[in-house]
A = this chain, B = another copy of it.
Amino acid sequence: MNVTIYDVAREANVSMATVSRVVNGNPNVKPATRKKVHEAIERLGYRPNAVARGLASKKTTTVGVIIPDISSIFFAELARGIEDIATMYNYNIILSNSDQNKDKELHLINTMLGKQVDGLIFMGGDITEEHTEEFRRASVPVTLAATLDESEETPSVNIDYGDAAYEATEHLLSTSKRVAYVSGPDNTSINTKKLEGYKRALKDYNQGVDDELLVLGDYSYDSGLEAAEQIIALEERPGGVFVASDEMALGVIHGFQDKGISVPEDIEVIGFDNTRLATMIRPTLSTIVQPMYDIGAVSMRLLTKLMNKEQAEDTNVILPHRIIERNSTNQKK
């Protein structure tokens, strides 16, 4: 059997309460006894049982993290931000992939709450009323990372996707009047926001929305390749393309290059996210900087505040974004 607090108590000739005190750093212990206890712990190789502790204290020092796909370069970066801050505050993380599948998401929320996590970080596509209801039932705090909740009921950390898309489009519009948009899957609010930003920019620059300039993708490299083909097939080729993710933008650029079209000479391309991929292509990719690591880190930090019942003034955080010009767009003025 494993060594328990009781064994340590006997070995050190004290009560288990005292052992508990020294293990938990309670100052109300005479240095001499503390020493005795530490020695006994060492001798026996005692390792506190966190499960028992969790049951007694109603705190597990672990938080649940629900993520669409950890093998995506975008989410992996977010997860790293979350984990680093979690470690800093002495939490561990239970990580599960949802594939943005609503049933899976709801199921994961439940098993994690069953495991008595002290809090939950959720990343996903859309937050439905069902999600919100589960969160309300939770009795532990929840924060959303890079995930929109229209109701703003659940604390969240994001950038302003609409403004970001606006700026990307605007950047392209300064060179060419025809700007295409390669979107992500069309059923998430983040994509809706990006599309709105794109359209708003067109409008402000007196351009109508041309449906044939709207290409539907799924964030993947291959869908970028396909998008490029669609754009090439157009009667009148646009002068710039705004692509909703970096990975897809790489596909778009290669799709053009494979057909002998040069970026940015023949057509400009701008991406979104600024993942590491953006510098791993020639020409290097101009893109919108979305601070993924920070979004993860801030959402975890926010969660710690919520878990400690600290006053968190702003629970719907908008982090800054910016545009970074590299070589897939022409130098502006």
A111 touches which one: B77, B92, B276 (CB < 8 A)? B92
Q: Are B276 and A47 in contact (CB under 8 A)?
A: no
> Is A116 engaged at the interface, CB distance under 8 Å to the other chain?
yes
A96 touches which one: B2, B52, B93, B137 (CB < 8 A)? B93
Which residues on B sit within 8 Å (CB–CB) of A112?
Answer: 92
**Chief secondary structure at chain A's binding surface:** helix
A83 touches which one: B97, B258, B280 (CB < 8 A)? B97
User: 1/0 contact trace for A58-82 toward B, CB 8 Å?
Assistant: 0010100000011111001101100
Q: Are B95 and A51 in contact (CB under 8 A)?
A: no
Q: Which residues of A contact B (CB under 8 A)?
A: 2, 45, 47-52, 54-55, 60, 62, 69-73, 76-77, 79-80, 83-84, 87, 92-97, 110-116, 137, 139, 221, 247, 250-251, 254, 257-258, 276-277, 279-282, 293
Nearest 10 pairs of A and B residues by beta carbon:
A71-B80, A95-B95, A76-B76, A50-B115, A51-B54, A71-B76, A51-B116, A50-B114, A71-B77, A51-B55
Which residues on B sit within 8 Å (CB–CB) of A250?
Answer: 280
What's the nearest-Cβ distance from chain B to residue A77, in Å?
A: 5
What would 28 A/B residue contacts be, using CB atoms closer than 8 Å? A47-B113, A47-B114, A49-B55, A50-B111, A50-B115, A50-B116, A51-B55, A55-B55, A70-B70, A70-B79, A70-B80, A71-B77, A72-B76, A79-B95, A80-B97, A83-B95, A87-B96, A87-B97, A92-B96, A93-B95, A94-B94, A221-B279, A221-B280, A254-B280, A254-B282, A257-B282, A258-B282, A282-B282
